[in-house]
Amino acid sequence: MQDSNRKVPELNQIDLIKGTNLEKQRFIDDFYNGLVEYGFIVLNPYDFSFDLIDNAYDKYKEFFALPLASKMKYFGDNGGQRGYVPRLVEHAKNSKHPDLKEFWHVGRELPVDSSYQGSSCYPDNIWPDADVACFKQVGLAVYNQLDAVATNLFHSLAHSLNVPQDFFEKMTHDGNSILRTIHYPPLKEFTEQDSIRAGAHEDINLITLLVGATDGGLELLDRDGKWLSVPSLPNQIVVDSGDMLSRITNEVIPATTHRVINPDHSTKERYSMPFFCHPHANAELNCIESCIGSGKKYQDILAKDFLIQRLIEIGVLKVQG
């Protein structure tokens, strides 16, 4: 098949939420098949505020424009799970070349009755409101909006994988999901010759929702071994499958390798906002029965242990000792 015929599927969330039975089933089938075939789909969300996203980008741009000394006040000793992570810290798994980016992480604000309150698996959020007004308010609003979209998509996946409707809802209750806002500075600010904005990698989590990237550059590694551009319009969300979902589906849904390539012009910068949807820390990443086939490819593991393993592999969490 020629590259020109390969395109990531585009789906309308309204079909799943308000569609006829036929439209709902078509969405369920197309979402599942898109993840199996590409590892990616492009979603036109329903009842979603992109004004909120624009407001959040304004706040983050204000933060990333601060002097480095001001930003480093928010670089915590938490494996990069919350707050600021500076340039050239993260790299793709098995790569020695750092990514050309800096980013900010927002995690879940747990309810007071959560068993994870005070747990080391859920570091406290860090807020730079002293430097950027209303940063916390806007950040949490975006987090909650994307969390709701993810829950809706998990209902769709449950149908396709022949698991109870609340299977993923239980797995992601108090989930350790992360909202990451990334700043890719102009290339002229770097001297690293062999690095790109985001090296070829797979996401750690179940699914990722990428909303409102300000420029292109995202590519996926197609099944034929060729890089395929993943374009999206300003009011769309790119959804991809991660390692945890691949693991529990026995690679029926693969975690697709993707990257962000460098632009043609060294003066261009880029922002993006992925929401990494994780299960709760003690969720068991066991193979779903309908996906076992001729045998499980992976040993069972707790979500928190898998996360720590991967954070070490990408360089944001240092091995103690």
Question: Phi, psi at residue 66, to the nearest 5°?
Answer: -65, 155
**pLDDT class of 319 with cuts at 50, 70, 90:** low
- The mean pLDDT of the chain is 93
The pLDDT value given to residue 285: 97
Question: CB burial class (10 A; 0-12, 13-18, 19+) of residue 263?
Answer: middle
User: Alpha-carbon distance 48 to 62, whole Å?
Assistant: 24
**Model confidence at 143: pLDDT above 50:** yes
Position 76 confidence tier, pLDDT thresholds 50, 70, 90: confident
Lowest mean pLDDT segment, chosen from 5-9, 33-37, 140-144, 187-191: 5-9
Tens digits of residue pLDDT in 220-277: 999 889 999 998 888 999 999 999 999 999 999 999 999 999 998 899 999 999 999 9
pLDDT band at 1 (very low <50, low <70, confident <90, very high): very low
Give the SS3 label for residue 75.
strand
- Residue 84 three-state SS: strand
Domains contained in the chain, CATH given: 3-108+117-313 (2.60.120.330)
Rounded CA gap, 295 and 293, in Å?
6
Tell whether the model's pLDDT for residue 4 goes beyond 70.
no
Does the pLDDT of residue 57 top 90, yes or no? yes
pTM of the model: 0.94
Is residue 320's pLDDT more than 80?
no
Instruction: Inform me whether the pLDDT recorded for 321 exceeds 60.
Output: no
